[in-house]
């Protein structure tokens, strides 16, 4: 054990850990989720600390020996080392101070080892004076959130593009499969199964653009704002430089906000990102539910799609297979929507020069991104790729529907069309059979009018 102290007093810290006294206090105080800090977020915070150290060396405020040791320690975390040294609960009071100090302490204690000193020798390298130089939790923590959002958004967008691409493949594969379209859950007019798949792809791509646009706003940061946005204790040269060094560290383009006070006390950019995910989740719910409905039955439902069987569906009904992959996408999207409410409440609850609710925003933003990425990949891998159309059933429903009469209207007139509908409903006979029996149209022209190409595109069959 080693003894460390802060202004509240002294605590014993296990000598084999890299965190210190302020992390220990957070461990004692916050038992909320049973989880620890998201590893992507830890690595994002390490990138922020590295960028700050580089900028502080450049201004001459941080000596090179100390600064280079801090950079080397941060690099190890960025590379995936010491991630078990961040035990703080992600939901916490203090506007993220516990997470910020956990990162500072780990970086400093590893830096001390790098220069040949013992952990805890904060008189040589300090978590507050050196790792946190020209910073406050109030600028480094939200900047770390933004770096992490940018990182995770790439994984999410990749997953959504994967989904859209596979839907486009199905659109091409199913372009000639005619089926009954439905409005109000009632038979409408025909549509191709490929057109339905293409519409889902279009909606998903719109979601991708929505998320990309929202994430672009989080590349404006408040590093150098320090406590309330006034830049107290941060040199002007550092403020000008730190966004550039962060861009170099991350490989992305981060810029310093024009108004640091605004960017320190307002967190509406996080609401933008969350809202974009929520709206995309709504689109995904609609799509997943359409798949469930089209696969319903199979014998007593629509049975137009054959979903791959992934597991037995019942503990009591032999042979039952449920659409579990579509269901799990639905449930994931529900959680994203719930997370959005927590983020919204956090965003509106900032007071004066700081929003202290950033930990709940970060926790739910990261969870939404992780969950949605995983669920979308699962939907593609476990359902969409092996999806099969039931062409026979699609044709059966189409032949039995009176919806196709709409296509005949320009050719036989409204009165004849109404008569056809009435007789088809009364007798249960297919519309095609009644048309031919009554001699309303020759068979060749009828086949042309009711062909997939004519039934599913604008215009009147000639």
CA-to-CA separations, 362 to 31, 37, 123, 358, in angstroms, rounded: 17, 10, 33, 6
Average pLDDT over residues 46-52: 98
DSSP string, 179-195: EEEEETTEEEEEEEHHH
Average pLDDT over residues 31-57: 97
List all residues 6 or more positions away from 113 whose beta carbon is below 8 Å from its beta carbon: 119
Q: Quick check: 54 pLDDT over 90?
A: yes
What integer best gives the mean pLDDT of the chain?
Answer: 95
For the entire predicted model, the pTM comes to 0.93
Confidence of residue 462 (pLDDT cuts 50, 70, 90): low
Q: Identify the active-site residue in 214, 314, 344, 368.
A: 314
Neighbours of 130 (CB within 10 A): 23
- pLDDT tens-digit series, residues 370-425: 999 999 999 999 999 999 999 999 999 988 888 788 888 899 999 998 998 899 88
Q: Which residue has the higher pLDDT, 337 or 9?
A: 337
Lowest model confidence (mean pLDDT) among 41-45, 227-231, 439-443: 439-443
Both tokens of residue 367? Answer: 């969870």
User: Residue 237 and residue 54: Cα distance in Å, rounded?
Assistant: 12
Confidence of residue 252 (pLDDT cuts 50, 70, 90): very high
For residues 163 and 380, is the Cβ–Cβ distance under 8 A?
yes
CA-to-CA separations, 38 to 82, 85, 86, 99, in angstroms, rounded: 13, 12, 9, 11
Q: Helices 97-114 and 64-78 sit at what angle, rounded to 10 degrees?
A: 110
Active site residue 98: no
Average pLDDT over residues 183-194: 93
What pLDDT does 185 receive? Answer: 94
What pLDDT does 334 receive? Answer: 98
Average pLDDT over residues 309-332: 92
- pLDDT tens-digit series, residues 56-85: 999 999 999 999 999 999 999 999 999 999
- pLDDT tens-digit series, residues 89-120: 999 999 999 999 999 999 999 999 999 999 99
List all residues 6 or more positions away from 175 whose beta carbon is below 8 Å from its beta carbon: 192, 194, 195
List all residues 6 or more positions away from 41 whose beta carbon is below 8 Å from its beta carbon: 99, 144, 145, 148, 362, 366
Question: What is the total residue count of the chain?
Answer: 462
Q: In order of start, what are the domains of the chain with their CATH numbers? A: 2-133 (1.10.275.10), 148-176+192-388 (1.20.200.10), 402-455 (1.10.40.30)
Q: Quick check: 456 pLDDT over 90?
A: no
């Amino acid at each position: 054990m080693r003894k460390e102290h802060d202004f509240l007093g002294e605590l014993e810290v296990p000598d084999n850990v890299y965190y210190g006294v302020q992390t220990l206090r957070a461990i004692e105080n916050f038992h909320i989720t049973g989880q620890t800090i998201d590893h992507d977020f830890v690595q994002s915070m390490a990138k922020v600390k590295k960028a700050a150290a580089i900028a502080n060396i450049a201004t001459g405020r941080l000596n090179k020996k100390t600064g280079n040791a801090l950079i080397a320690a941060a690099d190890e975390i960025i590379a995936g080392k010491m991630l078990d040294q961040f035990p703080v609960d992600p939901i916490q009071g203090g506007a993220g101070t516990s997470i910020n100090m956990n990162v500072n302490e780990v970086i400093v204690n590893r830096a001390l080892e790098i220069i040949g000193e013992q952990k805890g020798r904060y008189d040589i390298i300090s978590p507050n004076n050196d790792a946190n130089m020209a910073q406050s939790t109030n600028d480094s923590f939200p900047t770390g959130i933004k770096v992490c959002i940018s990182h995770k958004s790439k994984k999410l967008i990749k997953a959504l593009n994967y989904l859209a691409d596979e839907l486009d493949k199905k659109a091409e594969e199913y372009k000639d499969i005619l089926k009954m379209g439905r409005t109000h859950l009632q038979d409408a007019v025909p549509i191709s199964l490929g057109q339905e798949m293409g519409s889902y792809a279009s909606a998903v791509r719109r979601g991708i653009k929505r998320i990309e646009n929202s994430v672009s706003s989080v590349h404006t940061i408040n590093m150098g704002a320090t406590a309330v946005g006034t830049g107290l204790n941060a040199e002007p040269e550092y403020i000008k430089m730190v966004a550039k060094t962060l861009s170099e560290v991350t490989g992305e383009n981060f810029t310093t906000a024009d108004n640091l006070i605004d960017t320190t006390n307002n967190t509406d950019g996080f609401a933008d990102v969350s809202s974009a995910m929520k709206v995309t989740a709504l689109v995904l719910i609609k799509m997943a539910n359409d798949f469930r409905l089209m696969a319903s039955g199979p014998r007593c439902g629509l049975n137009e799609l054959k979903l791959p069987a992934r597991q037995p569906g019942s503990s009591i009904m032999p042979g039952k297979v449920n659409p579990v992959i579509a269901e799990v996408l639905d449930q994931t999207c529900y959680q994203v929507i719930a997370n959005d409410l927590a983020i919204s409440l956090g965003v509106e609850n900032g007071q004066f020069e700081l929003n202290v609710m950033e930990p709940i925003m970060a926790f739910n933003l990261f969870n939404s991104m992780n969950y949605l990425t995983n669920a979308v990949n699962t939907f593609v891998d476990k359902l969409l790729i092996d999806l099969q159309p039931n062409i026979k059933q699609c044709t059966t429903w189409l032949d039995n529907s009176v919806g196709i009469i709409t296509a005949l209207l320009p050719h036989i007139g409204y009165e004849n069309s109404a008569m056809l509908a009435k007789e088809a409903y009364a007798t249960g006979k297919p519309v095609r059979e009644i048309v031919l029996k009554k001699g309303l149209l020759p068979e060749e022209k009828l086949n042309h009018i009711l062909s997939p190409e004519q039934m599913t595109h604008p215009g009147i069959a000639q």
